[in-house]
Structure 1
Amino acid sequence: MIKSPLQIARESYAPKMPKALKGSVKIVEGKETESVADQADIKKMFPNTYGMPLLTFEPGEAAPTAARNVGVILSGGQAPGGHNVISGIYDGLKKLNPENKLYGFLGGPGGLVDNEYVELTADIVDHYRNTGGFDIIGSGRTKLEEEDQFEKALVNCKDLNITALVIIGGDDSNTNACVLAEYYKAKGAGVQVIGCPKTIDGDLKNEMVETSFGFDTACKVYSELIGNIQRDANSAKKYWHFIKLMGRSASHIGLECALQTQPNICIVSEEVEAKQMTLDDVVTYIAEIVAKRAEKGENFGTALIPEGLVEFIPAMKKLIAELNDLLAHNEDKVNALEGNKEKREFVADLLSADSKEVFVSLPNSIANQLMADRDPHGNVQVSLIETEKMLIDMVKAKLKVWKKEGKFKGKFKGQPHFFGYEGRCAAPSNFDADYCYALGNTASVLIADGKTGYMASVRNLTASSDEWIAGGVPVTMMMNMEKRHGEMKPVIQKALVRLDGAPFKKFVEKRDDWAENTKYVYPGPIQYFGPSEVCDITTKTLQYEQK
C-alpha cells in the first residue's frame, strides 16, 4: 500500500486512554441487569447470559494470564475507527501476555464459518493504526443465526485453539454475538464472545453505550461537505441543495450535521412520524421556507433529508407494505408488461384507494423505483429511493402552482446530493481513534477475565480521555422482542432520535431562525493536529446529551 504523508504521520499517533486502562486493571461488578423490555421472554431465551452485572474497570493488580488465541470479526458496513479497535485488542492482548495471538477472520462472519483467516501480527497491525476502512481483514453481512453456522465456527475455533471471539458490529451483529455467546456457554464449548458497538448511523446507544464508533468521524466528514456546499450556495445565490444523508432507521446523522452546519431545513424522520405528517405536509413545509426566503431575495438554501424518510411517513409506509405484498403475488403479471406507464397503471388499480392516491401523486421516476427495486425477500428497497430528487420535483411542482396563484414570486432550482460512502471509510477523528482504541483494550480485559455475552463500553465521553469510564455491559440488557420476517425475535433495541432529548430541543429552538436567515457554519475538514479544543471535540449530540 502506498501511504500518503498524512497516513505516515497518523501511524505514529498514540491514542489517548482512560486512566483505568493504562496499567493493570481491576474489574468491579455492579448491580445485576435486566433487558429494556420483554424481560420474561429474553430471560427464557438467554438463561446463561441474562441478568449479569454491569462491569467497571479500575486501576489495580492483575493476575498473570495464560497464553491464549483470540479471533476478531468486522461485521456489517464500514465505520471509521474499526482498525483502531483491532489495534486496541492486539495491544491489550500482548500487554496481558506477549504469547497471546490474534486471528482476523476474513470478509466478516462468513470468514468464521468458512475458516478463512489471517494471524494479525505486529507488522500487519502497525500498518493500519489510525486509518479508516475495514480493509485489514474485510467485512461482510453474513448473519450468524443458524445452529449449523455455530457448529462450523466452533470447529474452526478449536482448530486454531481460539477461546474467545470479538465481534465488531451494529445492533444486529451484536444481537447475533449474544446468541452465539449463549449457545457456546450453554454447551460448555469454552469460547467466549464479546461485542463492540459500531455504526455510523448512531442508533446503537443507551445509557451504557453513549455513542457507537464512527458516528463522530462520519458526521464531521458530512458536515465539512455540507459546509462547502453552503458556502457555494451563499456565493452563487441561485441553487437549493437537497442533501440526503445516511440513516435509514434513525435521523441522528441529519440532526448532528444540522447542529454543526445550521442549514435552512433539516427533516427529522421521527418528528414526521410523531406528527403523522403526509408527504404533502413535508413538501409544503419545505416550499413555505423556500417562498419565505425568496421574499427576501434569497433564492438559495440547503435542506438535509434522512435516507429513510419515506418509511416514517405513515401513508408512504402503508403504500410500501401494500406494494411488497402486491408485487410478491403479481410479479409475473407486472414483468410481462412492456412499459413503466403500463406497470404503474396496473399496480395503481390493485392498491387501496388511499395508497393509490399517494402512488399516483409521486413523480414517475420514484413510482418506478418503488415497483422495480426489490430485495431478495421481495421487499421494496427504500434506501435506493432517490428521496432528495423526489422532494425537489414535488417542491418545484407546488411552487409552480403557487406562482400562478401569486403566492410565490421567486426562483427555484434544486440540486440533489447523497452523502453515504463518503464518510464510511474516512480516517478517524482523534475522538474516534481514541475511543476505538479504548474499546479494543476494554474487549481484551473482558476476555482475560473470562466474560462472555458482554459488549465493551467506554463512557463519560465528553470529559477528558483520562476520565473516561471503561467496562462491560451485558448485551441482553439492551434487548427487546421485535417482529422480524414475520416472527418475534430478540434484538438490541434501536435508539431513534428522542424528540424530548436535548439535541433535538436545541435544534427546534434554532431552526426557524436558520430557515429564514442565512446563518451557515462552515466546519471545514477534520483537524488531527493542534489545540485540543479543535482536534478532540466530540459531537454536538454528545455535548448536549451530557450537559
Structure 2
Amino acid sequence: MEKSALQIARASYQPKLPKALQGAVKVKEGAPTQSVDNQDEIKKLFPNTYGMPVVEFVPSDETNNTRMNVGIILSGGQAPGGHNVITGLFDQIKKLNPENRLFGFILGPGGLVDHNYMELTKDIVDEYRNTGGFDMIGSGRTKLEKVEQFEKGLEIIRELDIKAIVIIGGDDSNTNACVLAEYYAAKNYGVQVIGCPKTIDGDLKNEQIETSFGFDTACKTYAELIGNIERDCNSARKYWHFIKVMGRSASHIALECALQCQPNVCLISEEVEKNDMTLNQIVDQLCETIAYRASNGYNFGTVIVPEGLIEFIPAIGRLIDELNDLLALHGADYKDLDKKAQREYIISHLTPDNAATFKTLPAGVARQLSLDRDPHGNVQVSLIETEKLLSDMCEARLAEWKNEGRYVGSFAAQHHFFGYEGRCAAPSNFDSDYCYALGTSAAQLIANGKTGYMAIVKNTTASAEEWIAGGVPITMMMNMERRNGEMKPVIKKALVELDGKPYKELVANRDHWAKETCYIYPGPIQYWGPSDVCDQPTKTLALEQGK
C-alpha cells in the first residue's frame, strides 16, 4: 500500500497509555449496576449479563499469560481511530501471550455470519497504525439480532478457536454486542463479547463513557472546513453560508464546531424540541439575524445546522413517529404507487394534526420522510437538504419583509454538508491515544473473563498517563425504546444537555456572535508541537470537566 509522507511520519507515533495499562493489571470491581431505565424489562431480557459491576484496571504484580484468540468487528459508520483500537488490541494480546491470534471479520458483523475473515498479522497491523478509516477490514451495518446469525457465527468462532469477539460500534452496534453476549452466556458457549464506544456523533456517552472515539478528530476536521468558509465569507462579504454537519440524533458536533469557530448562528436540535418550535419560527429567528446584520452593512454570515434538526421539530417529530408505524404496517401498500397516489394514501391514513403538518412540508421533504428507513429503522435525514430548505424559506420570508417596507439588505446563500469529510480523517493525537487505550482495555477485559462489557477510558482531560481504564456493563446503559413499531432494548442516546456547560457557553455568546463577526479559524489538526496545541481535547469535554 502506497503511503503519504504524513502516514509514514504518523506510523512512528507511539500512542500514550494510562499508567494502569502499561504493565500487568488486575481488576478492581465496583458495586452492582442497574440499567438507566426500565430495570425490570432489561433484567428479564439480559439475566446473565445484568447487574455486573463497573470495573477499573489497576497495576498488578502478577503477569497474565492468558491464551486467547480474538475476533474483531468494525460496525456501522466510520470514525477516526478505529485502526488504533485494533492495534491496541493486537499489541496487548501478543504481549499477554505471543501465540495469541487476532482475526478480523470482513465488512462488519456480516463477516462473522458469512465466515468472511482474515488473520491480522503484525505486517498487516503495522500498515494501519495511527491511520484513519476502517479499510483494514471494512465495516458494515448488518444487525446481529437473530438466533440463526448467532449460531452461524459460532461455527467460525469454534473453527478458529476464538475466545472473544470485540465489536467496535455505536449505540446500536453495542446493543447488538450485548444481545450476542447474553445469548452466548445463556447457552454456556464460553464465548465472550466486548464492545468499544465509537461514533463521531458524540451521542454515545454517559457517566462512564466521557466521549465516543472519533468525535474529537471529526469535529476538528469539520471546524477547519467551517473556519475556512468563515474566512472566505468574511473576505467576499456577500454570501450567507448554511453549513449542515453530521449528527442525526443529537447536536454535539454542531455545538462543538460552534464553540471552536464562533459562527453567527448555530441551531441546536434539542433546544428546538424543548421550546416546541415550528419550522416557521426557526426561519423567523434566522431572518431577524440576517436583517440585523444587513442593517449594519453585513450582508453575509454563517449558520451551522445539525443534520437531524428536522426530526427535532416537535410537530415533524410526531409526524415521523406515525409515519414509522405506517411504513412498518402498510409500507408495502403504498411504496410502489405514483407520487400523487402515494401522498393521498399517506394523508388519508394519518391523524388530522399529522396530516396537516405533512401537507405544509415541501414535496421532496414529505416524500423522503415517508419512504425507506436505514437498517436501524431511522429516517435517512442526511438525504434531506435541511440547509437548502432553511435558506429557501429565509429567502422567501425576507422577500415578504422587503415588500412590507422593512430593510433586509441583499441575501444570497451557499450550501454545504460536511459528513464523509470527517469520518475517516487521520486521528488526532487524542483519538490515537484514546483508541489505543480502548483496544488495550478490551484485551484486558477478555483476559479477566468479562463479557457483555464495553471498554472505557476516563479522566480524559488529564494527560494520557493519568487516564483511568476499565469496563462498564452494557446493560447499565440500556432502556426500552420504540423501534420499527416494537419496543426494543437499546443503549440510551446522550443528547445535548440544555443545562450543561457546553450549551450554556454557546448561549452566553451567541447574541454577540450573531451581531458581530467573531469568527475563529482553527486550521488543520496538529500532530506535532506543544501539547497544549496538539493534545487538547474538544471544547465540549473541557467544559464538561471544568477544564
Query: How many residue pairs were aligned?
Result: 545
Counterpart CA distance in 1 for 2:376 and 2:330 is 13
Q: Could you tell me how far 1:433 is from its partner in structure 2? A: 0.2
Check whether the contact 1:430–1:535 (CA below 8 A) recurs between aligned residues. yes
1:158-197 equivalences in 2 (<5 Å): 158-197=158-197
Q: Could you tell me how far 1:392 is from its partner in structure 2? A: 0.6
Check whether the contact 1:174–1:475 (CA below 8 A) recurs between aligned residues. yes
Counterpart CA distance in 2 for 1:336 and 1:17 is 57
Counterpart CA distance in 1 for 2:43 and 2:375 is 33
Residue 518 of structure 2 corresponds to residue 519 of structure 1: yes
Matched AA of 1:107: L
Structure 1 match to 2:7: 7
Matched AA of 2:200: I
TM-score when normalising by structure 2: 0.95
Counterpart CA distance in 1 for 2:508 and 2:16 is 35
Matched AA of 2:179: V
Counterpart CA distance in 1 for 2:32 and 2:240 is 53
Quick one: structure 1 residues 98 and 380, their matched pair in 2 at CA, closer, same or farther if it must change by over 3 Å?
closer
Quick one: structure 1 residues 101 and 382, their matched pair in 2 at CA, closer, same or farther if it must change by over 3 Å?
same
Quick one: structure 1 residues 477 and 370, their matched pair in 2 at CA, closer, same or farther if it must change by over 3 Å?
closer
Structure 2 match to 1:441: 440
Residue 142 of structure 2 corresponds to residue 142 of structure 1: yes
Structure 2 match to 1:405: 404
Quick one: structure 1 residues 237 and 416, their matched pair in 2 at CA, closer, same or farther if it must change by over 3 Å?
same
Which moves more between the two structures, 230-239 or 322-331?
322-331
Q: Could you tell me how far 1:370 is from its partner in structure 2? A: 4.0
Counterpart CA distance in 2 for 1:451 and 1:351 is 48
Q: Could you tell me how far 1:331 is from its partner in structure 2? A: 6.8
Q: Could you tell me how far 1:360 is from its partner in structure 2? A: 4.2
Structure 2 match to 1:209: 209
Long gaps (5+) in structure 1: none
Counterpart CA distance in 2 for 1:427 and 1:377 is 28
Quick one: structure 1 residues 364 and 113, their matched pair in 2 at CA, closer, same or farther if it must change by over 3 Å?
closer
Secondary structure of the residue aligned to 1:54 is: strand
Quick one: structure 1 residues 15 and 367, their matched pair in 2 at CA, closer, same or farther if it must change by over 3 Å?
same
Q: Could you tell me how far 1:45 is from its partner in structure 2? A: 1.6
Counterpart CA distance in 2 for 1:346 and 1:176 is 35
Structure 2 match to 1:460: 459
Secondary structure of the residue aligned to 2:103 is: strand
Secondary structure of the residue aligned to 2:150 is: helix
Structure 1 match to 2:474: 475
Matched AA of 1:482: E
Secondary structure of the residue aligned to 2:62 is: coil
1:42-121 equivalences in 2 (<5 Å): 42-121=42-121
Counterpart CA distance in 2 for 1:147 and 1:372 is 29
Quick one: structure 1 residues 512 and 232, their matched pair in 2 at CA, closer, same or farther if it must change by over 3 Å?
same
Matched AA of 1:454: Y
Quick one: structure 1 residues 378 and 428, their matched pair in 2 at CA, closer, same or farther if it must change by over 3 Å?
closer
Quick one: structure 1 residues 143 and 344, their matched pair in 2 at CA, closer, same or farther if it must change by over 3 Å?
closer
Residue 99 of structure 2 corresponds to residue 128 of structure 1: no
Counterpart CA distance in 2 for 1:144 and 1:350 is 33
Residue 291 of structure 2 corresponds to residue 299 of structure 1: no
Check whether the contact 1:323–1:380 (CA below 8 A) recurs between aligned residues. no
Considering only aligned residues, what root-mean-square deviation do their CA atoms show, in Å? Answer: 2.0
Q: Could you tell me how far 1:499 is from its partner in structure 2? A: 0.5
Structure 2 match to 1:261: 261
Counterpart CA distance in 2 for 1:47 and 1:376 is 27
Counterpart CA distance in 1 for 2:54 and 2:252 is 27
Matched AA of 1:521: I
Percent identity (aligned) = 68
Q: Could you tell me how far 1:198 is from its partner in structure 2? A: 0.3
Quick one: structure 1 residues 367 and 178, their matched pair in 2 at CA, closer, same or farther if it must change by over 3 Å?
closer
Deviation string 1:67-115 (CA, Å, 9 cap, x unpaired) is 2211110011100000000000000101111111111111111101111
Quick one: structure 1 residues 479 and 360, their matched pair in 2 at CA, closer, same or farther if it must change by over 3 Å?
closer
Long gaps (5+) in structure 2: none
Structure 2 match to 1:252: 252
Secondary structure of the residue aligned to 1:129 is: coil
Quick one: structure 1 residues 70 and 368, their matched pair in 2 at CA, closer, same or farther if it must change by over 3 Å?
closer
Secondary structure of the residue aligned to 2:127 is: helix
Deviation string 1:504-527 (CA, Å, 9 cap, x unpaired) is 111111111111110000000000
Quick one: structure 1 residues 519 and 488, their matched pair in 2 at CA, closer, same or farther if it must change by over 3 Å?
same
Secondary structure of the residue aligned to 1:51 is: coil
Quick one: structure 1 residues 353 and 121, their matched pair in 2 at CA, closer, same or farther if it must change by over 3 Å?
same
Matched AA of 1:543: A
TM-score when normalising by structure 1: 0.95
Counterpart CA distance in 2 for 1:475 and 1:374 is 26
Q: Could you tell me how far 1:449 is from its partner in structure 2? A: 0.9
Counterpart CA distance in 1 for 2:16 and 2:71 is 25
Counterpart CA distance in 2 for 1:105 and 1:57 is 28
Q: Could you tell me how far 1:368 is from its partner in structure 2? A: 4.7
Structure 1 match to 2:536: 537
Q: Could you tell me how far 1:334 is from its partner in structure 2? A: 7.8
Quick one: structure 1 residues 380 and 85, their matched pair in 2 at CA, closer, same or farther if it must change by over 3 Å?
closer
